[in-house]
Structure 1
Amino acid sequence: MILRLATRADLPAVLALLADEERVVDPASVTVTAAYERAFTDIEADPRNELLVLADETDDGLVLGCLQATYIPGLGKGGAERALIEAVRIRADRRGAGLGRALMDLAVARARTRGCALVQLTSGKARTDAHRFYTSLGFARSHEGFKLGL
Structure 2
Amino acid sequence: MDFREATRRDLPAVLALLADEDEVVDPASVVVDGASERAFASITADARNEVLVLTDGDGNGSDGPDGTDAVVIGCLQLTYIPGLGQNGRERALVEAVRVRADRRGEGLGAELMRLAVARARERGCGLVQLTSNKRRTAAHRFYERLGFARSHEGFKLSLTD
Q: Name the TM-score class by shorter chain.
A: over 0.9
Match of 1:71 among 75, 80, 83: 80
* TM-score, normalising length: structure 2: 0.92
State the shift of 1:143 in Å.
Answer: 0.2
2:13 aligns with 13
Task: Output the CA distance in 1 between the equivalents of 2:44 and 2:126.
Answer: 23
2:54 aligns with 54
Q: 4+ residue stretches of structure 1 with deviation over 6 A?
A: none
Task: Output the CA distance in 2 between the equivalents of 1:11 and 1:108.
Answer: 22
State the shift of 1:61 in Å.
Answer: 1.4
User: Deviations 1:103-149 (Å, cap 9, x if unpaired)?
Assistant: 00000000000000000000000001100000000000000000000
* TM-score, normalising length: structure 1: 0.99
Name the aligned partner's letter for residue 44 of structure 1. Answer: T
Match of 1:99 among 99, 102, 108: 108
1:4 aligns with 4
**Identity across matched positions, percent:** 74
Q: Does 1:89 pair with 2:98?
A: yes
Task: Output the CA distance in 2 between the equivalents of 1:109 and 1:72.
Answer: 16
- Out of 53-62 and 139-148, give the one that drifted further: 53-62
Name the aligned partner's letter for residue 70 of structure 2. Answer: G
Task: Output the CA distance in 2 between the equivalents of 1:69 and 1:147.
Answer: 19
- Gaps of at least 5 residues in structure 1 are none
Matches within 5 A, 1:99-138: 99-138=108-147
- Gaps of at least 5 residues in structure 2 are 58-64
Task: Output the CA distance in 1 between the equivalents of 2:148 and 2:112.
Answer: 15
